[in-house]
């Protein structure tokens, strides 16, 4: 099972390639959709790393894959400027998922 990266900048792609993770750059909605379709067509890819910014800008595309496919696993990672999530993101996410305030 392989990992594949879809990033929005060359620095991230280069860094991940040095770690042995192949990837491509997506600069717009169409690039992202094409890159995802290519990755989904490859049965060897088990994990797709995406920049968090894609999830914020194109949630319909990302959510469609997350909700309708078991494999590959989609993981959103921060970009080189850091995360856009609140400090209590995990606590709030778990609270929303189970319906309780933690």
Contact 5, 22 (CB under 8 A): yes
E strand spans, 26-78: 45-51, 73-77
Count up the domains in the chain and report the number.
1
Q: What is the per-residue pLDDT for 62?
A: 85
With a cut of 60, say whether residue 89 has pLDDT above it: no
Q: Which domain holds residue 14?
A: 2-98
Give the pLDDT mean for 59-85. 78
**Residue with token string 């890159």:** 35
Please, which pLDDT band fits residue 25 given cuts at 50, 70 and 90?
Answer: very high
CATH of residue 59: 3.40.50.10580
**Angle of CA points 16, 69, 95, to nearest 5°:** 85
Average pLDDT over the chain, rounded to whole? Answer: 83
Pull the structure tokens for residue 28.
């717009």
Predicted structure pTM score: 0.75
Give the pLDDT mean for 53-73. 84
């Amino acid at each position: 099972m392989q990992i594949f990266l879809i990033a929005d900048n060359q620095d991230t792609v280069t860094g991940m390639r040095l770690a042995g993770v192949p990837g491509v750059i997506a600069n717009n909605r169409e690039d992202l959709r094409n890159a995802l379709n290519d990755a989904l067509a490859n049965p060897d890819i088990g994990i797709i790393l995406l920049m968090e910014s894609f999830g914020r800008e194109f949630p319909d595309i990302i959510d469609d894959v997350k909700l309708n496919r078991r494999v590959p696993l989609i993981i959103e990672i921060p970009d080189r400027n850091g995360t856009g999530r609140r400090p209590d993101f995990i606590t709030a996410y778990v609270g929303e998922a189970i319906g309780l305030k933690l």
